[in-house]
Amino acid sequence: MTERELEPPPPRTTSEPVEATPEVARKNVLLGLALLGIALLIAAGAVGVSLIYLQFD
């Protein structure tokens, strides 16, 4: 039995990091606040559903 020939590793492609411009920073802050709002809505919804469940129990 012969040993299989090793394939060369695939070429690595890299991109330079994007500079943190005020526009990108503002966009990131807005997206972060939107995610925080969604998380708070989910948590408040869970509490609301549990309170409704306790009322009918």
In percent, the amount of the chain with pLDDT more than 70 equals 98
**Confidence category of residue 1, pLDDT binned at 50, 70, 90:** low
What predicted TM-score, i.e. pTM, was given to this entire model? Answer: 0.63
Q: What is the mean pLDDT of residues 8-34?
A: 90
Residue 47's alpha-carbon distances to 38, 39, 54, in angstroms, are: 14, 13, 11
Structure tokens at 17: 């990091």
Please determine, for residue 2, whether its predicted confidence score (pLDDT) is greater than 80: no
Q: What is the mean pLDDT of residues 4-28?
A: 87
pLDDT confidence of residue 6: 84
Task: State the Cα–Cα distance between residues 16 and 7, nearest whole angstrom.
Answer: 28
The more confident residue out of 13 and 27 is 27
